[in-house]
Structures are given as structure tokens and as C-alpha cells.
Amino acid sequence: MTTGLRTRSGAHWLIFFVIACLVVVLDQIAKAWLVANVSPGDVVSVVGDYLRLVFHQNSGALFGLFRDNAVLFGLVSLGVVGLIVAYHARAGRSLYLSIALGLLLGGAIGNLIDRLRLGYVVDFVDMGLGDLRFFTFNVADAAITTAILMMVGAALFPALQRLGERPADSERPADSERPADG
């Protein structure tokens, strides 16, 4: 029996989709603001030289690799989105995994929207010291990185996967076995 977005497996579908949607909305709002207020290549200092906003058009993949393949990466991203949803369906009752996979889905969709709409991904967060800089990234990239770190954490410490886990349907008492209120 299914109720709303919760299936027999007890997956946290609502949380999964809400997190994904929040990441997409925040990512697209941040990118829209940047595009409207900063010219490509301009540098806006946020915290001195440590944290800056730089409008960068990334036509490649992760860290700017394989440039000028937006259509190919768009198609690959569509496949990845399908795999993330399928994996979540099989991930069981873990709130931890639902959050991680929601972040991953939102990040994948946020960058997919850019690739399909613009032909490149808008990157803008630039961190570092002087000439020693981290790769420029965006909200979607930060969500993807957080999700990957959470997944690695779950692989190293399996107990994390059980955080917020729902009991299985077979472990819950049937309606006739539940104590009456009152």
C-alpha cells in the first residue's frame, strides 16, 4: 500500500524531492543574480582575496574538463538523474541517504538546466589564497560535493545510513494490533 509519496519500502520521497527542488531553486536564483549583476570574467571581492565571485562559463564537465561538449553532458546528466531516482527507490528507509541523494539530484538538475538552456554551466564561487585557487564552482556543485562526501561517509561508517531510518512495514503493528487512543 502506498500513501502519498511514501512507498512500502518507507523511502523518504518527500524529503528527497523537497531537497532536490530547494537546491535547484537556490542554484538558479544565485546564477540569475550573478548573470544580471556581474559581467563574464569580472571579479567581485566578498571576503578579501579569500572568497570572490567570478562569472565563469564552464562548457566542460567537472572542474572544466572536456570543454565544449554541453549537449553530450546534458544527455549524460539526464541519464544520471534517472539513476539517482532509481537508486533512491532502492535505498530503503534511510533519511540520511534520502538527504544525500536529494542533494545529488538537485545539483545534477541545476547544472543540467544551465547546459540545456545556455550551452554552459554558470560557475561563480572562487576561493583561495593569491594564485592558489580552488576550482570555481556554484550552488549545484556544492550540493553534489556535499552529497558525495555524505555517501563516502556512509560507506566508511555504515551506521550513518541508519540515521532517521523508518521501521519496515513488517515491523509495525497492524491497525488491529495498535493500542486504542484514550
Which tens digits make up the pLDDT trace of 24-60?
A: 999 999 999 999 999 988 889 999 889 999 998 887 6
To the query of whether residue 131 is one of the catalytic residues in this protein, the response is no
To the query of whether residue 141 is one of the catalytic residues in this protein, the response is yes
Give the residues across from 45 on adjacent strands: 52
Domain assignment present for 2: no
Domain assignment present for 179: no
Count: domains in the chain: 1
Domain assignment present for 18: yes
What would the pLDDT profile of 95-141 be if each residue is shown by its tens digit?
999 999 999 999 999 999 998 898 889 999 999 998 899 888 999 99
For residue 142, the enclosing domain spans 13-37+44-157
Does the pLDDT at position 159 exceed 70?
yes
Q: Give kind and range of the element (H or E) at residue 123.
A: strand 121-129
- Secondary structure (3-state) at 172: coil
Task: Please identify which of the residues 42, 123, 175, 181 carries the catalytic annotation.
Answer: 123
Residue among 92, 101, 83, 80 at smallest CA distance from 18? 101
Q: Is 36 exposed, middle or buried (0-12, 13-18, 19+ CB in 10 A)?
A: exposed
Domain assignment present for 162: no
Task: Please identify which of the residues 27, 114, 126, 141 carries the catalytic annotation.
Answer: 141
